[in-house]
Amino acid sequence: MNIIHLSDLHTGKSNNLEKSAILVDWILNNKEGHKSSLVIISGDLVDDGENWQFLQAKDLIDRLRNEDYVVLVAPGNHDYGPNGYRESQQSRVDFKELISGVEDYPHLYSEDGQVFIVLDSMAEEFSTVELWGAQGNLGLDQLNKLDLILDELAENPVIENVLVVLHHHPFDYLFYPGLRDHADLKGVISRRIDFPPRVNVLLFGHKHLEHRFNDPGENKEELYGIDMIYSSGQTVERNIEGNMIVPVINLDGFTIQRFEVN
């Protein structure tokens, strides 16, 4: 199975909506190439959590959903309020009602033996506004639920892969943009000794930097016992040749194909 991983589209800012529309056109017109019918957007879909931004983004996502694509969107800091650091309850409601349809996290979606677990890395951030920043915080409640879900999935023989998707980057240790409870998350998702991986794929965004964390000198996939750890960059950003990169992940071999979109 192939999945498409987009992130940090920040629609509503500059011409990101137009560029996102080009990405959607490409996905719809190139099914033979990417061979996927599932799109993950790992947060910061919109730039300021404004209602009009969600309405525009909804039109885009509906174009995919109307063609039978499954679109899973994790909430990011920019989805939940202006400038990505002023959380707004109204933005949270709009995100749920217009984009995700998800009431509770972790949110599970499964297809063909692949289980996708979408987390809300802003869940606990709403209660910790003593200092505004772009941090994330999953919270103990969500992490405990995730732990139980992973225990159950580990005992289910029909599950091939477990994928965890969140917005915040668990390896960005700076205070302002970091995931406050990244260490707890890693404790929950790490492979246990003598057991197969608890999580096969970990996907996130936030840092606008595309990277697979299997560098020879510091292989985090090996360290945490996760087959693939990957952050999609800001998909609407053009590279030096003027192309946007759409990463397509193959879940059979844990490989990434990068398609250039003009």
**Distance separating alpha carbons of residues 169 and 177, to the nearest angstrom:** 8
- Using CB under 5 A as the binding criterion, the count of chain residues that bind Fe ion stands at 4
Nearest distance from C-beta of residue 192 to Fe ion, angstroms: 31
Measured from the CB atom, the residue of 76 and 139 that comes closer to Fe ion is: 76
Hey, what are 18's tokens? 């137009």
Hey, what are 239's tokens? 């590279």
Choosing from 142, 206, 228, 236, the residue that interacts with Fe ion (CB under 5 A) is: 206
- Greatest pairwise CA separation for the chain in angstroms: 50
Measured from the CB atom, the residue of 150 and 185 that comes closer to Fe ion is: 185
Choosing from 75, 76, 136, 170, the residue that interacts with Fe ion (CB under 5 A) is: 76
The contact pattern for Fe ion, residues 77-116, with x = CB under 5 A and - = no contact, is x---------------------------------------
Nearest distance from C-beta of residue 83 to Fe ion, angstroms: 11
**Distance separating alpha carbons of residues 253 and 1, to the nearest angstrom:** 10
Residue 57 CA, distance from chain mean position: 16
Are 244 and 21 a contacting pair, CB within 8 Å?
Answer: no
Measured from the CB atom, the residue of 34 and 167 that comes closer to Fe ion is: 167
Q: Where are the alpha helices (DSSP H) in the chain?
A: 16-29, 31-34, 51-65, 89-94, 140-154, 182-189, 220-224
Nearest distance from C-beta of residue 78 to Fe ion, angstroms: 6
Nearest distance from C-beta of residue 5 to Fe ion, angstroms: 15
Contact between 207 and Fe ion per CB under 5 A: no
**Strand segments (E) across the chain:** 2-6, 36-41, 70-73, 107-111, 114-118, 161-165, 201-204, 211-212, 228-231, 244-250, 255-261
**Distance separating alpha carbons of residues 198 and 159, to the nearest angstrom:** 11
Nearest distance from C-beta of residue 191 to Fe ion, angstroms: 27
Identify which range of 34-42, 75-83, 180-188, 232-240 contacts Fe ion by CB under 5 A: 75-83
The contact pattern for Fe ion, residues 31-50, with x = CB under 5 A and - = no contact, is -------------x------
Nearest distance from C-beta of residue 68 to Fe ion, angstroms: 29
Measure the CA angle with vertex 182, ends 181 and 188; round to 5°: 95
Measured from the CB atom, the residue of 42 and 200 that comes closer to Fe ion is: 42
Q: For binding to Fe ion (CB under 5 A), which residues are involved? A: 44, 76-77, 206
